[in-house]
Amino acid sequence: MDKNLNVLLVDRDENSRSIVKAYLSELEGVGIAAEFSDSESVFNLAAESGKCIVLIDTSENLDKAVNEIKTIKSLNKDAFIIAMSNRSSADIVIKVMRAGAKEFILKPIIKTEFLEILNNTITDINSEENKDSCKIISTFSNKGGIGKTSIAVNLAVELAQMTKEKVALIDLNLQLGDVATFLDLTPPFAMDYIADNINNLDGEELLKTMTRYKNTSLYVIADPLNIDKSKDITAEQIENILAALKKTFSYIVIDIGTNIDSKTIKALDFSDLILLIAIVNLPAIRSTQRCMELFDKLGYNADKIKLVLNRYMGNEDIKTADIEEVVKQKVYWKIPNNYLIMMSAINKGVPVNEINPDSNVALNYKDFASKISDCLITQKLSKNYNRETRI
């Protein structure tokens, strides 16, 4: 390896710094650039370090550390921040990761764990792609009129507003999708153009072909304007588009639609979370049960599927426990019924929070976006981090 990645180490505890340095010395491709006992002095160096790793201890004052992580991230977007702490709760981990840390290491540091996380980090940084950092969420049901598009659109808007990170929203209802209408967009390019050209579009160019929603970090790929074009789009092209988007976006939200074909299955396979949407009536619940059977056949882990009840009123004849028993899946989230606001949003071509941010549905979508983002963070951690039982 011709060039080492610089590591900036911030830890008040000298003993802990020595341990980290000793472990780092066993790794190839990294070298300690500087160590600090307090974080103020790290900012200047972090700002000019380009691609680097910042190991920062957050044990003493979590709120202060969270702000410091945000500052480092704003000064250097290529800094790969790893937070360390002698405490571990889901709350702490989520706070530091939301601030911009990519990994979390629990103290006392276990050598094998430390080396594994650092090795993965070095590979990620060097491969430029950082594959794990983009999460794909899709809305699915084999019935129409359930709320899939409403949920995909409002969730994508909330995720973009909450995280300020880039969110892609894709309409996979390749014949007569609604996403562009729900956001009142007239995309100059749609899925057919992007599919045909995906092998020639680099990150910046791909972004230019997508349609940005107002001044937000949300970018849309709409269904083809001409229905005939949709049949020419292949599952392989969908895979290539998702792979390309993963390099630029933090979240991809896909409105999958009701069709089950090789394209939608490709998108479902790629999804980290599938929001299986149901409403509380017998036919919808039966369909949901069938979707679960399909997911079982496709070999999906139960954890990937989140059952969402839309248009929930709370006074239904069918109880949540009955649904859970039939569908064999816990209800993950309930979205209240509010036809007036939802229709008004659709007719005006805006998300519900632009109609009334204090309405029950707008507030519910906001909480839903937080819950999903937290869930994805903990999902990633339990994959990388085998002491999750301590979180």
Ligand X SMILES: Nc1ncnc2c1ncn2[C@@H]1O[C@H](COP(=O)(O)OP(=O)(O)O)[C@@H](O)[C@H]1O
Interface with Mg ion (CB under 5 A): 148-149, 178
Given ligand X, Mg ion, none, residue 203, with its beta carbon under 5 to 8 Å by kind, binds none
| Min separation Cβ 140 and ligand X, Å | 9
Given ligand X, Mg ion, none, residue 177, with its beta carbon under 5 to 8 Å by kind, binds none
Q: Which residues have CB under 8 Å from 325's CB, separation 6+?
A: none
Given Mg ion, ligand X, none, residue 337, with its beta carbon under 5 to 8 Å by kind, binds ligand X
Residues near ligand X (CB under 6 A) are: 144-150, 178, 310-311, 335, 337-339, 342-343, 346, 361
Between 121 and 141, CB nearer to ligand X: 141
Contact 220, 180 (CB under 8 A): yes
H/E element holding 196? helix 191-197
| Min separation Cβ 291 and Mg ion, Å | 15
Two tokens at 148? Answer: 């899939």
Q: Give the Cα separation of 344 and 288 in Å (integer).
A: 28
| Min separation Cβ 263 and Mg ion, Å | 16
For the beta carbon of residue 352, count every other beta carbon within 10 angstroms. 26
Given Mg ion, ligand X, none, residue 335, with its beta carbon under 5 to 8 Å by kind, binds ligand X
| Min separation Cβ 278 and ligand X, Å | 10
Between 71 and 149, CB nearer to Mg ion: 149
Q: What are phi and psi of 234, to 5 degrees?
A: -105, 165
| Min separation Cβ 357 and ligand X, Å | 15
Own/partner long-range contacts of 239-245 (Cβ < 8 Å, ≥24 apart): 239/266, 239/270, 240/198, 240/199, 241/170, 241/191, 241/194, 241/195, 241/198, 242/136, 242/266, 242/267, 242/270, 244/198, 244/201, 244/203, 244/206, 245/134, 245/168, 245/170, 245/206
Between 245 and 355, CB nearer to ligand X: 355
Given ligand X, Mg ion, none, residue 373, with its beta carbon under 5 to 8 Å by kind, binds none
Q: How many residues does the chain have?
A: 391
* DSSP code at position 34: E
Between 141 and 250, CB nearer to Mg ion: 141
Given Mg ion, ligand X, none, residue 342, with its beta carbon under 5 to 8 Å by kind, binds ligand X
Between 52 and 346, CB nearer to ligand X: 346
| Min separation Cβ 113 and ligand X, Å | 43
Between 140 and 251, CB nearer to ligand X: 140
Q: Which residues have CB under 8 Å from 342's CB, separation 6+?
A: 150, 352, 361
